[in-house]
């Protein structure tokens, strides 16, 4: 039995400088985005007082966000297209004795890994930076809300952590069925094709149902936190409209970050299973 290695680490090591550059842009874009609620609050208070400086600063922040974000996306689309072409040829050459079904499935899995790096990874980094930055800013605005955010983060992570093993099992079953697809199509048997597609959808539905349950539980916890944060902020004497708006916006931004991170974690669990298939091809 012969094994070939197709490591994700190879992609990173061969393009480390370009990937480091795009990561720098991701961090810069994420840092700019964190500042929006704070600048919006200042713009509101300045406008109420008859000033324009807050609005001007907000406009400049928006322009900076546009330039960094658009530049990164132009760069990323060309970088990952080049990587897919290069490593796709290398992957197929290493499994030239495999059947067409496995080749097609593995090439699709390689594309899924690169799509994760291009689309999901920036969002993951952005969410981590946003979560840390937002929590620190909330700590400077209201200590009680800050402690509440830490408790809520732990609760949400526990909800998703409990189901991680089941997620991996379901993804493994889904990929097992997916790798049969080309062979099933080549047989031109409508009944077997129907059974195969039903199998794929069965595992997809199970994954979707598990995610729905996790999301629903997390949303209940986070909505309770949002309502509590408003009550706490008013009770602690925050009376300026801009300051109150900034705090609530940061709480809502925190909620978005907390909800997204577990979804990325589940996607990462799926990629771990795919990576094992790419690194140990028989």
Instruction: Give per-10-residue mean pLDDT for the chain (282 aa).
Output: 52 80 87 82 78 84 88 85 77 70 71 76 78 83 86 87 80 75 73 76 80 84 85 70 75 81 72 66 47
| Domain membership flag for residue 3 | no
Say if 2 falls within a structural domain. no
| 175 located within any domain | yes
Domains held by the chain: number = 1
Q: pLDDT (tens digit, 9 = 90+) per residue, 81-96?
A: 887 777 777 777 776 6
Q: What global pTM score does this model have?
A: 0.57
pLDDT at 278: 64
Residue 268, in any domain of the structure: yes
Please state the three-class secondary structure of the chain as a single string: CCCECCCHHHHHHHCHHHHHHHHHHHHHHHHHHHCHHHHHHHHHHHHHCCCCHHHHHHHHHHHHHHHHHHHHHHHHHHHHHHHHHHHHHHHHHHCCCCCHHHHHHHHHHHHHHHHHHHHHHHHHHHHHHHHHHHHHHHHHHCHHHHHHHHHHHHHHHHHHHHCHHHHHHHHHHHHHHHCCHHHHHHHCCHHHHHHHHHHHHHHHHHHHHHHHHHHHHHHHHHHHHHHHHHHHHHHCCCCCHHHHHHHHHHHHHHHHHHHHHHHHHHHHHHHHHHHHHHHCEC
In a domain, 1, yes or no: no
Domain for residue 151, yes or no? Answer: yes
At 183, which CATH number?
Answer: 1.20.1560.10
Is 195 inside any structural domain? yes
Write out the residue range of the structural domain in which residue 216 sits.
8-279
């Amino acid at each position: 039995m012969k094994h070939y290695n197709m490591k994700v680490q190879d992609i990173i090591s061969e393009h480390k400088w370009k990937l480091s550059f795009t990561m720098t842009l991701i961090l810069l874009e994420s840092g700019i985005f964190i500042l929006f609620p704070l600048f919006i609050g200042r713009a509101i208070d300045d406008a109420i007082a008859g000033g324009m400086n807050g609005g001007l600063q907000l406009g400049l922040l928006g322009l900076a966000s546009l330039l960094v974000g658009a530049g990164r996306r132009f760069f990323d689309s060309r970088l990952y297209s080049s990587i897919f072409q290069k490593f796709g040829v290398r992957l197929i050459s290493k499994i030239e004795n495999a059947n067409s079904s496995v080749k097609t499935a593995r090439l699709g899995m390689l594309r899924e890994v690169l799509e994760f790096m291009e689309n999901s990874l920036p969002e993951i980094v952005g969410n981590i930076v946003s979560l840390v930055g937002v929590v620190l800013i909330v700590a400077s605005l209201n200590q009680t809300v800050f402690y509440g955010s830490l408790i809520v983060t732990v609760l949400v992570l526990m909800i998703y952590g409990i189901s991680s093993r089941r997620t991996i099992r379901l993804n493994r079953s889904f990929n097992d069925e997916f790798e049969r697809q080309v062979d099933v199509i080549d047989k031109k048997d409508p009944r077997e094709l129907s059974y195969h597609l039903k199998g794929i959808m069965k595992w997809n539905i199970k994954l979707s149902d598990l995610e729905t349950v996790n999301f629903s539980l997390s949303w209940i916890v986070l909505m309770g936190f949002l309502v509590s944060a408003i009550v706490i902020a008013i009770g602690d004497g925050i009376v300026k409209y801009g300051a109150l708006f900034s705090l609530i916006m940061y709480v809502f931004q925190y909620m978005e970050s907390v909800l997204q991170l577990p979804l990325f974690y589940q996607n990462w669990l799926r990629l771990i299973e795919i990576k094992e298939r790419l690194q140990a091809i028989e």
